[in-house]
Amino acid sequence: MGFQAPTSYEKVIELTIENDKIVSIQDMSKIMKSWRNQIIEEDEELEDIQKWIEEKFSREY
């Protein structure tokens, strides 16, 4: 099924790499927590189970 979404993790660090060197490090944990909470709220409101399955098991990036 591929990789978990970044929102699946409590700690998320974004590395920006240019010319084989790390040029920036950002802690994205707070943003992912906010997104995770939004996803939970949307899931609670979801009535169409088929749509939910298609969204959760999509192979699109």
Look at residue 13 and tell me if it is in a domain.
Answer: yes
Q: How many CA atoms, within 13 angstroms, populate the side-chain half-sphere of residue 39? A: 13
pLDDT digits (tens, 9 = 90+) for 5-49: 888 899 999 999 999 999 999 999 999 999 988 877 776 666 677
- Structural domain tally of the chain? 1
Residue 39 lies in a domain: yes
Dihedral sign, CA of 23, 29, 30, 31?
positive
Phi-psi region of 49 (alpha: psi -120 to 50; beta: other; left: phi over 0): alpha
- Domain annotation covers residue 37: yes
Is position 46 within any domain? Answer: yes
Q: Which domain holds residue 18?
A: 6-56
Q: In this structure, which amino acid lies at residue 53? A: I
- In a domain? residue 15: yes
Q: How far is CA 19 from CA 14, 16, 24, 27, in A?
A: 16, 10, 12, 21
pTM: 0.58
Is 61 a member of any domain?
no
